[in-house]
Amino acid sequence: MGDGEGGIKAHKQNNIRQVLNLIREHETAAVAELAPKSRLSKTTVKKMIDLLVCLGLVQSAGKGLSTDEGGKKPELFRFNPAYGYVISIHVTPEAILAAASDLSWGLSQFRKTPVGLKRDLESILALLAGEIRRILGAKASGREKLLGVVVALPGLADSSRGISIYSPHYHDWGRNVPFLDLLRERVEELAAVPLFVDCVNRYQAFAERVKGVAVGVKNFMIIDAITVGLGAGIFLHGELMRGHQSLSGEIGHMTVNPVDGPRCNCGNHGCFEAMVSANRLRALADDARMNGEQSLLFQNGKMEDFDIARVCELSGQGDKLCRRLIDDVARWFAVGLGNIILTNDPELIVIQGQYVKAGECFLKHVREGLRRIGLPDVEKTVRIEFSALGEERGVIGGAAVVISDFFAKRLSFKEKE
């Protein structure tokens, strides 16, 4: 995979990498476009492209259009995303999501496997091993082009040590589990393959950075609110934040209502995630139903499925209970976001998870709440947007981290023989 310097000096390695990265940023590119951007001569750029083509990293993309003055049509080049691949896995509280990703984050062999009742560590590791072997077997190149395997975990994880610190959704795992070592022991095919692990929210932030609404944004954060939790992934000055103890992003357990907030899964009361959870809203709606309050949420005096999007829709239609529920959750969302804005001052906050389906009406309530709290006299220019990525975002982000590591740290170039 391009290992070894092969006689190419460091400064030339950097120049080749620069040209490659420029090609990766464009669908197609010509030498005449790349030369001024790289500050290299056309002759030098062409030689580097020839090397990259020979290595399989770049391929010809045909001819471009002539200039207004006429002349020879330029040859176009594009990055070859099939140069290698990554196996990316997301362990959710309910299922295992696994896929192969090419080097442009295109997924194949995607599969979602319910965890079921067997949630112990050994059972989960067996599921992961099975998914890894399934994907390896489906790839014609097998291990030859495999650049790494990555696992996104719920809860706290330390990427530098390859451990699961603690998962509130998998209590039986225990603490400080050497996750990557255990996985490597169970899949002999991974003996020499780089392995990666981290908290899924960090990978989901990476997904927004490469393929979502945060492309080109250096200071942003994602907030992922699922049915059973809430967490964040934070980028500051273009760098992913992890913190001293890998606690960065655990905003779901920031206390926002210590007086009468509900008990959280962590044991605390009034955590951010507990105050904005769908379970809490459902409980409030149930209380209203038991007290005889009327709402279109109830059919024949019963409430079957509780859906955030439905609550927001009925709120817009004038349903008083639904309006009160949306006002309540938006208020607590604003309190949590207000604290985050004053701490990190992001340019963009991307909301992922269950509240995406609530639509623009929910964002409107949150923005109104933000204007009233946390330095109300200071205009807050932070953008708050919904993610356009689906449940595969953790898989995409995990692959993106491995791909970034490969191009930044592991890829080197050898001269043509």
Domain ranges of the chain: 10-79, 83-204+394-410, 213-388
pLDDT grade for 71, boundaries at 50, 70 and 90: low
Between residues 9 and 49, which one has the greater pLDDT?
Answer: 49
Burial degree of 4 (CB within 10 A; 0-12, 13-18, 19+): exposed
pLDDT at 121 over 90: yes
150 and 97 Cβ atoms separated by less than 8 Å: no
* Percentage of the chain modeled with pLDDT above 90: 68
**Cα–Cα dist 363/252, whole Å:** 19
The fold of 83-204+394-410 is Nucleotidyltransferase; domain 5 (3.30.420)
pLDDT at 399 over 70: yes
* Percentage of the chain modeled with pLDDT above 70: 96
Give the chain's mean pLDDT. 91
pLDDT at 380 over 80: no
Query: What stretches of 92-214 adopt beta strand conformation (E)?
Result: 95-101, 107-114, 146-153, 156-158, 163-166, 195-199
173 and 153 Cβ atoms separated by less than 8 Å: no
CA dihedral of 214, 216, 220, 225, whole degrees rounded to 10: 10
pLDDT grade for 5, boundaries at 50, 70 and 90: very low
The fold of 10-79 is Arc Repressor Mutant, subunit A (1.10.10)
pLDDT attached to residue 378: 67
pLDDT grade for 65, boundaries at 50, 70 and 90: confident
C-alpha distances in angstroms, 335 versus 91, 184, 343, 376?
A: 30, 43, 13, 12
271 and 264 Cβ atoms separated by less than 8 Å: yes
CA 398 to chain centre: 7
Two tokens at 215? 């492309």
**Cα–Cα dist 325/282, whole Å:** 9
User: Is residue 124 classed as helix, strand or coil in its secondary structure?
Assistant: helix
The fold of 213-388 is Nucleotidyltransferase; domain 5 (3.30.420)
pLDDT attached to residue 3: 45
52 and 414 Cβ atoms separated by less than 8 Å: no
**Cα–Cα dist 326/320, whole Å:** 10
pLDDT attached to residue 68: 55
pLDDT at 415 over 80: no
pLDDT attached to residue 404: 95
Half-sphere exposure of 16 (CA within 13 A, CB side): 24
C-alpha distances in angstroms, 246 versus 159, 201, 251, 411?
A: 8, 12, 12, 27
Written as one letter, the residue type at 381 is T
pLDDT grade for 4, boundaries at 50, 70 and 90: very low
Tens digits of per-residue pLDDT, 7-47?
578 889 999 999 999 999 999 999 999 999 999 999 999 99
pLDDT attached to residue 201: 96
**Cα–Cα dist 272/270, whole Å:** 6
Tens digits of per-residue pLDDT, 243-278?
999 999 999 999 999 999 999 878 899 999 999 988
163-196 burial string, b = 16+ CB within 10 Å, else e? bbbbbbbbeebeeebebbebbbeebebbeebbbb
10-79 with 213-388: one CATH topology?
no
333 and 276 Cβ atoms separated by less than 8 Å: yes
